[in-house]
Amino acid sequence: MDSLVAALESLLTITFAEADTRAEPALVPNDPLYPLQMCLHDSVSDTDIDAPEAWDITTGSDTLVLSVVDAGIDQDHPDLAGRDIFGDSGDNCDPSRPYHGTTVAGVLAASTNNATGVAGVNWQSRILNQCVDWSALMVAQAIDTSVVAGAAVINFSGTYPSPDTLETVRRSIMHAMMSGSTVVAATGNPFNVKYGYPAAFDPVCIGVAGATPSTHCGSHGPWMDVVARAQAYCIAEGGYRLVNGSTSVASPQVAGIVSLLRSVRPELIDRDCEEVIERTAVDLGDAGFDTCYGFGLAKAAAALSYIRDRTVCAGVSVPSSVVQQEGPPSDWLTIHWNRPPDEYPTGAYRVRTYQMVARDVPLPLGFSQTPHVWLRLGGTTGLASPSGTACEFDYPWGEVFDTTRSSASFRTYIYEVRDSLDNPIGWWPAPPTSACFAYTVAGSPTPRQVLRKTCQCRPTDCVSLPCSKDADRTVGRPPSA
């Protein structure tokens, strides 16, 4: 049969050929409390992540490391005893909340299909226990340790109300993303629009709020990304319990989705998994992105189908040689820069911006329909244009526009900077000649290109990836003035 399929696919008049196969029912674990885990599967309200359908594609990879930065994990709990857990022994744990980390770890990766207790989103991967007492310094150190340990996913189900004393945490999360780790964080439980950090450190962290069959819950606003069910039947001290209205159990569901994506395609780093999850989320509330539900309810099966059903070329570079200044620089503007780059102090600066554009850049493949293109932070040199008299821009920033089936255009800004006395300082983040971009593209190549395998990126970067959101996206949401 395989030889017949290969022979048919070699004919240019044949779009594709495949052998007939039988469908199998969705994989259902034998854990006795699984029927109560409505966050994983709820056929009534559908406020779940569609875990059984996702498990038909993958249950995880035993080579992947999942880091749980929390109050510690009870490795002797019968629903975690069979997992490969390493890391802290518990000396740094918060004694007032001993089972918070165990609950979170269970949602993410409880021993599954073992006829015991509950199921986890990820069945296979290793768990790194990073025990903290919730101090910002210890959390930052735990994130750094997770990166050194090679964690693909880092979950933090904690929140702080202000970023004022979180610079160390922010830098650690930025370093984690640039090093290949995906950080997922809960937005916090207060039902208001107050910021919850580090989830609000967009775009370097996936911020997860909560939802129930009737409403959203937890902190929310323009900085959050997606929601997951804030109810979960979980591991608890002495057994199991229902956790209700908690973003602490919503976050590890999304971290679990990231882990499944990276189990299948470990090369999806930087913002790739966030983009896939956002584009395949079920829209809730107002049409499109809104401040209550973000991009919508995260769905594991849809995200995995995305990377299975389409071709993705990940981490494609746009060199500075094809990036040109477009138009004259802006007028000089005095701004207060809250987090200036290059270790300069917070304060007033005189700046003018240069718009740097790469137009009609050929994509590595021709696509049968307009593909989705998004920028990566790593490999992009440029900042956002100021939107007022205050700036916090220190993350790489860029936007994609004018995407066609064969090309895309990219835009960013370079700053010429002077101090408040008009003394020249230099260029932030780099001179205009150094502006560049890195991007990932997802779509369906034309049939002839599929047959002839004409993708020009490295083999490890080309992955087989339905997309529901707009094709053009901006990296990072510039903060309002």
Summarize pLDDT for 328-356 with one digit per residue, the tens: 999 999 999 888 877 789 899 999 999 99
Q: Residues 152-190: pLDDT tens digits?
A: 999 999 999 888 889 999 999 999 999 999 999 999 987
Q: Within this chain, do residues 140 and 271 fall inside the same structural domain, yes or no?
A: yes
- Measured CA to CA in angstroms, residue 315 lies from 265, 270, 366 at distances of 13, 9, 17
Report how far residue 281's alpha carbon sits from residue 414's, in angstroms, rounded to the nearest whole number: 33
Q: Are residues 148 and 218 in the same domain?
A: yes
* pLDDT attached to residue 14: 76
Q: Same domain, yes or no, for 92 and 212?
A: yes
The answer to whether residues 319 and 282 belong to one domain is: no
Domain boundary among 289, 308, 327: 308
Which positions of the chain have pLDDT values less than 50? Answer: 451-471, 477-481
Together in a domain, 192 and 44: yes
What pLDDT is attached to residue 5? Answer: 72
Indicate the residue among 308, 332, 363 that finishes a domain: 308
- Domain end point (choices 254, 284, 308): 308
- In whole angstroms, give the CA distance from residue 35 to residue 28: 10
Q: Are residues 176 and 270 in the same domain?
A: yes
3-state secondary structure of 424: strand
Tokens 């929140």 belong to residue: 159
What gap in Å lies between CA 438 and CA 424, rounded to an integer? 30
Report how many domains make up the chain.
Answer: 2
Q: 65 and 155: one domain?
A: yes
Phi, psi of 174 (to 5 degrees): -60, -45
pLDDT of residue 22: 58
Please answer whether residues 184 and 206 qualify as being in contact, where contact means their C-beta atoms are separated by less than 8 angstroms.
Answer: yes
Asked whether residue 99 falls in the same domain as residue 246, the answer is yes
pLDDT of residue 90: 60
Q: How deeply is 53 buried, as exposed, middle or buried, from its count of CB atoms within 10 A (0-12, 13-18, 19+)? A: middle
pLDDT of residue 470: 40
* Assigned domain for 303 exists: yes
Within a domain: 413:
yes
Rounded Cα distance, 167 and 140, in Å: 9
Domain limits for position 81: 34-308
Cβ-in-10-Å burial (0-12, 13-18, 19+) of 332 comes to: exposed
